[in-house]
Amino acid sequence: MKYRRYTLVVLVLLVVLSISIPSLARYMNESKNKANIDIAKWNFKINDSTITSSTISLASTIDTNNKYSTKYVVPGTNGVIPIEIDADDSEVSLSYKISFNLSQLPDNLHIYTDSNKTLLFDSSNIVEDTILITDTNKKNNYNLYWEWEYKTDETSNKNDSLWQDKNIELIINIEAKQIVRDDIS
């Protein structure tokens, strides 16, 4: 009687194990003939680079129609920072988040997510989207619009003057994750 009960317990555990096994097949295709495993490719690129960190010179993004300076970042200048999310070589769907990580910018220099410069891009703002394996276009492009406002009030003059010959820095963090079944349901 006891032996039967133990057998039953073992059988139940085996059933549990056999149920869990199909969930392992999410990223793999097992070939019975060759007994090898193909792993889906994950190739996520930011601005055409697979490296985890890339650098853009803000001066290189200055709007050349600018009246204040076309070469240097000074009050009155503005420009567009392009961000390209490229999942062309990935064989899985993915979701990603673009967030504001750190900034060392003059008070009057702001980043916006729209060309009308009404939507501020700051630490409280996250851009989220997906690129699905079924999408024909697997590249998403974003423009971040920046402007160092030319203001002549006393406070602005004082603050802007403090930012002469200074290093300005903005870090944009981009996180991408493969979309799995649990995310969809």
Partner 1 sequence: MKKKVIILSLTIVLIISLTINTYSRYASSGNVHINDITGNVKCSLEITNTGNDFSSNGYAQFRIKVKNTDEKGNLSKTPLSYYLVISNTNNLGKFKYIDSLGNGNIDFLERITTKTYTFRSDHLEVEQINVEVKTDAFVSEQVDFNVDLYCNQIVGK
Please give the residue ranges that form the binding site for partner 1 (CB under 8 A). 2-3, 6, 9-10, 13-14, 16-17, 20-21, 23-24, 26-27, 40, 42, 44, 46-47, 49, 51-59, 61, 67-69, 71-76, 81, 83, 92, 94, 101, 106, 157, 160, 163-178, 180
Classify 67 as helix, strand or coil.
coil
* Least separation in angstroms between CB 153 and partner 1: 13
* Least separation in angstroms between CB 129 and partner 1: 15
Amino acid identity of 116?
Answer: N
The C-alpha atoms of residue 85 and residue 178 are separated, in whole angstroms, by 14
* Least separation in angstroms between CB 68 and partner 1: 6
The C-alpha atoms of residue 126 and residue 100 are separated, in whole angstroms, by 7
* 33 vs 179, beta carbon nearer partner 1: 179
The C-alpha atoms of residue 110 and residue 3 are separated, in whole angstroms, by 74
Q: Are 53 and 128 in contact (CB under 8 A)?
A: no
* Least separation in angstroms between CB 125 and partner 1: 15
* 11 vs 119, beta carbon nearer partner 1: 11
What does the block give as tokens for 166?
């200074």
* 21 vs 35, beta carbon nearer partner 1: 21
Going by the DSSP 8-state scheme, the letter that residue 122 receives in this structure is S
Q: Are strands 45-46 and 78-86 parallel, antiparallel or unpaired?
A: antiparallel
* 33 vs 36, beta carbon nearer partner 1: 36
